[in-house]
Structure 1
């Protein structure tokens, strides 16, 4: 895997190169027992990370891989953040419905928490998030209890959403809702059970959302409605709007916003949940 480098300059000379991040990979056990990838990125100079985040890729639950958010994780690791990009079963490739995807995300978050603990990071210093459908899955897991528990996903203190999907599914026309239900493998009438705005209540984790004003997948108005609902409930929810940006704007080279997104994400994590 490629490793970014940073130069230490002493008296105008460049005596050595220090890796900006260290990379490794491992597997975690999905809810059905199969093994899925975790790509691990941590500060390259050996200093303990100050915060951690696990990210889940987009792709409408049918495409994508953990590699998709590796560039984001590399940059965050170079800022002193323990960053992990996780895969999950996709529809038609191991997952029968969105419920299987959510189950895998919960498993990945648990494994991430164990890896973070080894590096001196406890639950108050950890976040989850992702892009598009991956951001939706991470937020569902963070805002709703697992079937066998009564508390929301343990071990996560904040959420970062990069052009998240599914914030207000009730706003879609009935025929669109039925089509989406078929696409994600759930029974008719269940779509709104996965609408993020329905989960808003006091005590939700702090959230930072990055979204383009010209997003063609999730209209910016739906994101604003979600943000407003969070704030009315007494929660912290910061929406960073990117003028004229479309869906997927946050990837390197797509619109020139990559560094801006990374800067804001790192600041949010280091300001809200970092160890002191």
Structure 2
């Protein structure tokens, strides 16, 4: 596998203001925008302001972007996206801001707004040779109603103005959408704006027109914006189709948040990362019209006391598509104050993680793990979740991987997660009563996890994995009581806007009585956390034993399963059976498991997802994350079996970009 080095990124935001000009482009400065008429209408001419980067030539083939202002299709100002446009011109793009007709000034409806937006993209493409543009790299962007128009240029068929040259495509190659409207139908206040015209509402609802090959999209929303639900629907639909759509959320922010600091800088930086991932911007490239020392991290850049250059960071992940959902169990035991957890790895140095003896609470660690996972086809983690005390407000152990790292990481929107309730420690990790479950535990999960935009849902139902579901019989007083409690949990999820709750119980045996008990408890599926294969098996024996258990569980037909495949086992102290499947044989295991999943009923979760054991059970001897012995070997096997992405790719380590190490806490305690 190829590995490369990446120069440290220098990201900054400049708020240079440029005036309008009617001069034709020749050798323009970077800041001032040049004005062109892109369309003549009965209500007047429509302007487009184009910002050219320093060094621009008519013979260039630069990536371009056009911004559409917001204003509810009623009003709005062409100046809205001037900071973003001037900044991207500084970064080397041709950046435009397009006017369009609105109700207050021109007496039009959203339909005519869409027509104008399509005309603007078409004008840029038709004049690409004169504008120094690459016609195949034009991005449409906008905020609120302007975001809706940008999305419509890419997704909604028809709606072209009369007389347009339809031989020139109005579809951009990518989208950057700031809290956009994405669906009219089903939203009465929006339908009122178009006279409740159902046909038009469907025609201008971008989500309804998504396809697998639609242009990639970045969506940016505040968590307090009522339109966020539309963004989440869009991203969910995209994932189902295999279309690339990424969601950035600003905690506590409302509609229009991107116009104000600190979100102006943060959303601009996120936009840069997205455009760089498409090859439209060079990662780490300094703005072309300013010396590097003037590049800062905020609006003060270029002042008498410039901010220091931004530090290098984990390069943006580039997820690959997979034929089914692939998840990995995640063991979150690697906290800074728990150095003894690494003792077994010290005895087996071949297991040493690529991150070293890391502290999992570091958001940068989470971003590396997200990058490595999604670039090899793993789209979600199932974190072991430990309660620390029953019968009162929720307290946790080993929760830092989720709360301190994942939730605070830059790329949290790129990775899904679920929790496995690790309720093995009786009297501590379970529940004291149904009231404890419904009044303490479930509300905590709902608020912190199920409602999180990155939590794993299928069929609009959160997935909750339970390690020892049979222990709940004693906790709640009987089998019937457990079933009743599960039904109440599902009802609570429906009340919260979900379509229910999927409950999955852990079991790695073949006893029909135990599987019958799990069914009686009301579980939807069984799954294995890992497979204990006895007798120190060879790799082929370990493969055969796992597949045999999976097949026998299916043939019993008592409870459907979500399949897990295991890479190895040693126990925490090299006790019992010890075995390991190398990457080449692991690829065979994945291929054979994939074939089994094809025989499952298509409506079952088991036909749509596979669990991998384990991302990081370093001390217990089952792990697939990058490590000393096999590097990215296990992850490459996952990518090759389940993704259509090219086999050849670049896998980066922290040292390649000047980051790490992440083991300072371990080293201090070791001394």
TM-score bin (small chain): 0.7 to 0.9
Matches within 5 A, 1:137-152: 137-146=149-158
1:2 maps to 17
Distance change in 2, residues 1:203/1:31 (3 Å)? farther
**Distance in 1 (alpha carbons) for counterparts of 2:61 and 2:254:** 32
Residue from 229, 250, 256 that aligns with 1:221:
229
2:84 maps to 72
State the shift of 1:65 in Å: 2.2
1:256 maps to 262
CA distances 1:232-269 after superposition (whole Å, capped 9, x unpaired) = 11110011111111111111xx2411112112212322
State the shift of 1:189 in Å: 6.2
State the shift of 1:87 in Å: 0.7
Given that residues 30 and 90 in structure 2 are in contact (C-alpha distance below 8 angstroms), is that contact kept between their aligned partners in structure 1?
A: yes
Given that residues 146 and 153 in structure 1 are in contact (C-alpha distance below 8 angstroms), is that contact kept between their aligned partners in structure 2?
A: no
Which structure 1 residue ranges, 5 or more long, are not aligned?
Answer: 5-18
State the shift of 1:30 in Å: 4.1
Matches within 5 A, 1:151-166: 153-165=169-181
Given that residues 238 and 244 in structure 2 are in contact (C-alpha distance below 8 angstroms), is that contact kept between their aligned partners in structure 1?
A: yes
Residue from 86, 90, 100 that aligns with 2:102:
90
Given that residues 122 and 168 in structure 2 are in contact (C-alpha distance below 8 angstroms), is that contact kept between their aligned partners in structure 1?
A: no
Distance change in 2, residues 1:268/1:152 (3 Å)? farther
- Structure (1 or 2) with the greater strand fraction: 1
State the shift of 1:68 in Å: 1.3
Q: Which has the higher contact order (CA 8 A, sep 6+)?
A: 1
Given that residues 118 and 171 in structure 2 are in contact (C-alpha distance below 8 angstroms), is that contact kept between their aligned partners in structure 1?
A: no
**Distance in 1 (alpha carbons) for counterparts of 2:18 and 2:184:** 40
State the shift of 1:273 in Å: 4.6
- Number of matched pairs: 253
Q: TM-score, normalised by structure 1?
A: 0.80
Given that residues 53 and 128 in structure 1 are in contact (C-alpha distance below 8 angstroms), is that contact kept between their aligned partners in structure 2?
A: yes
CA distances 1:30-82 after superposition (whole Å, capped 9, x unpaired) = 45473112111121344757411011000001111211111210111111111
Q: TM-score, normalised by structure 2?
A: 0.35
Distance change in 2, residues 1:206/1:27 (3 Å)? same
1:239 maps to 247
Given that residues 73 and 109 in structure 2 are in contact (C-alpha distance below 8 angstroms), is that contact kept between their aligned partners in structure 1?
A: no
**Distance in 2 (alpha carbons) for counterparts of 1:28 and 1:46:** 21
Given that residues 141 and 153 in structure 1 are in contact (C-alpha distance below 8 angstroms), is that contact kept between their aligned partners in structure 2?
A: no
2:285 maps to 1:270: no
2:44 maps to 1:38: no
Distance change in 2, residues 1:30/1:3 (3 Å)? closer
**Distance in 2 (alpha carbons) for counterparts of 1:110 and 1:239:** 27
**Distance in 2 (alpha carbons) for counterparts of 1:31 and 1:275:** 35
**Distance in 2 (alpha carbons) for counterparts of 1:76 and 1:188:** 38
Distance change in 2, residues 1:93/1:213 (3 Å)? same
**Distance in 2 (alpha carbons) for counterparts of 1:29 and 1:150:** 15
Q: Considering only aligned residues, what root-mean-square deviation do their CA atoms show, in Å?
A: 2.9
State the shift of 1:28 in Å: 1.8
CA distances 1:117-136 after superposition (whole Å, capped 9, x unpaired) = 32432232111120100110
1:14 maps to none
2:449 maps to none
Given that residues 131 and 162 in structure 1 are in contact (C-alpha distance below 8 angstroms), is that contact kept between their aligned partners in structure 2?
A: yes
State the shift of 1:29 in Å: 1.2
For the residue of structure 2 that corresponds to 1:26, the secondary structure is: strand
2:149 maps to 1:134: no
For the residue of structure 2 that corresponds to 1:209, the secondary structure is: strand
State the shift of 1:153 in Å: 4.8
Given that residues 123 and 155 in structure 1 are in contact (C-alpha distance below 8 angstroms), is that contact kept between their aligned partners in structure 2?
A: no
2:70 maps to 1:58: yes
**Distance in 2 (alpha carbons) for counterparts of 1:67 and 1:113:** 23
**Distance in 2 (alpha carbons) for counterparts of 1:3 and 1:151:** 34
Larger radius of gyration: 2
Distance change in 2, residues 1:187/1:262 (3 Å)? same
Distance change in 2, residues 1:31/1:201 (3 Å)? farther
State the shift of 1:215 in Å: 1.1
State the shift of 1:103 in Å: 1.0
For the residue of structure 2 that corresponds to 1:122, the secondary structure is: strand
Residue from 32, 35, 40 that aligns with 1:25:
35
